[in-house]
Amino acid sequence: MPVISWLVAPVMALAAAIASWFVAKDSASFEVVQMAVAVLLITTAVAIVVFWKPAVRWIRQHFK
């Protein structure tokens, strides 16, 4: 099993759980919604990693 699948499998499982809130699992568009949710999860994770230090700095500066 390639290493990338260790990273993708949990994201896709979480995306499937979230997508099942909105679309039935036996629906034809479930995989499309699952992939859209997975892209949003990955984008959110990257944004948190990139903007973590500036956000903490801003919060400390404004809420002292």
Give a three-class secondary structure readout of the chain. Answer: CCHHHHHHHHHHHHHHHHHCCCCCCCCCCHHHHHHHHHHHHHHHHHHHHHHHHHHHHHHHHHCC
At 25, give phi and psi (nearest 5°): -65, -25
pTM of the predicted structure, to 2 decimals: 0.81
If one counts the domains in the chain, the total is 1
Residue segments in the chain with a per-residue pLDDT below the cut of 70:
1
Token pair in block for residue 14: 């979480």
pLDDT for position 2: 84
pLDDT for position 48: 96
Q: Domain residues for 55?
A: 3-62
pLDDT for position 64: 77
